[in-house]
Copies of this chain bind each other. A is one copy, B any other.
Amino acid sequence: MKKLINNPEDVVRENLAGMAVAHPDIIKVHFEPNFIYRADAPIQDKVAIVSGSGSGHEPLYNGCVGYGMLDAACPGEVFTAPTPDQMLEAAKIVNSGSGVLYLVNNYSGDVMNYEMAAELAMSEGIRVLNIIIDDDVAVKDSLYTQGRRGVGTSVLAAKICGAAAEAKYDLKQIAELTRKVNLNGRSMGMALTSCITPQKGTPLFDLGDNEIEFGIGIHGEPGRERLPLKTADEITEMMALSIIEDSAYKRVLREWDEDKEEWTDIELIDPPLASGDSVLAFVNGMGGTPLPELYIVYRKLAEICEKKGLKIVRNLVGSYITSLEMQGCSITLLKMDDELIKLWDAPVNTVSFRWGM
């Protein structure tokens, strides 16, 4: 294993220490339990949004903390869910009294720990709602997931819901918006290579010299199938069509019912994309993919969207939700409307997202 690290067990802490010293104008870091929060938190009269999953997906979520996006991010160990005490302490620091939204990616460990954290926070008088992102069309049920995994849409949800919080949406409105973003978003990924976690020290999985993993998860979880290497255009078309031709997906997600004061299963169905829809097209690198390859994919994706009657009204191209140094990419299409466009365009100032100010 060749990495720019000291001890594998210090990677997360030293990363946070580096971020703290590099960006004191934007973030502060709390250690033990570990979380990053807005330097100016808590923000009065604003719902706080807290997210975070395993480390190794940077810049998500650490780079997303700041004005117009997340109030706090809780990084777990690499590819490991953060713990409830991280989530609880983060909520306590960023809550201004307007409540906290836990933005949760659909991995069993994350879902369970955020539920536990929400209960702990509520027992301390903090109003909390948990909303789950499950946008990966690749597989239903996976190594660490029941139902679909949460991938690229979580980046977009953090931006859009963060802007809504700045615009003074209340907690229920932000929860509703987050559900809408989740239902409007669909993703599909693939890998050319594996990655090596600092703890394991060897590749998470093996791919032959001419193989790709189609439908990969962001922790190397197996995808739909292992295929021979194809051209970028062929791979892009397969990914794009998996998303565009995906049928309505009915999921059951657990949310806190504030009236009944209990966790409740709610059924949510995302309608398929249809000709005439406006979309945000997000081409994401898995970490080790050179930027030109992402633009080669984007080029083909734009062509396919046009053919299918989808109008790309916004885009994002770059490595935002990664799997360490994995080579590969994912595509996310998020159906947009005027509200989502306005919130996407709103000013943001985090370590990795900065515009409009």
Report A's interface with B, CB cutoff 8 A: 2-6, 11-12, 14-19, 21-22, 55-56, 58-59, 63, 192-193, 209-210, 212, 229, 231-233, 235, 287-299, 302, 315, 317, 322, 324-325, 327-329, 354-357
Contact = CB atoms under 8 A, between A and B. Distances in A.
A207 to B, nearest CB: 8
Contacts of A17: 295, 299
Contacts of A235: 4
A229 B2 contact: yes
A327 B196 CA distance: 13
Given A289-B4, A290-B287, A296 B14 contact: yes
Contacts of A355: 354-355, 357
A297 B18 contact: yes
A325 B327 contact: yes
A58 B355 CA distance: 20
B297 A4 contact: yes
Nearest to A208: B2
A69 to B, nearest CB: 15
A287 to B, nearest CB: 6
Given A18-B296, A296-B15, A291 B4 contact: no
B209 A2 contact: yes
A17 B58 CA distance: 28
A290 B21 contact: no
A223 to B, nearest CB: 16
A307 B65 CA distance: 30
Contacts of A16: 295
Given A6-B233, A58-B291, A287-B288, A14 B299 contact: yes
Contacts of A11: 292, 296
B291 A63 contact: yes
Contact of A325 (B59, B63, B289, B329): B289
Contacts of A5: 231-232, 293, 296
A295 B22 contact: yes
Contacts of A291: 15, 58-59, 63, 322
Contacts of A229: 2
4 residue pairs, one from A and one from B, having the closest CB atoms: A18-B295, A18-B299, A15-B292, A4-B293
A151 to B, nearest CB: 17
Contact of A4 (B4, B12, B58, B296): B296
Nearest to A10: B296
Contacts of A287: 288, 290
Given A11-B296, A14-B296, A21-B298, A329 B209 contact: no
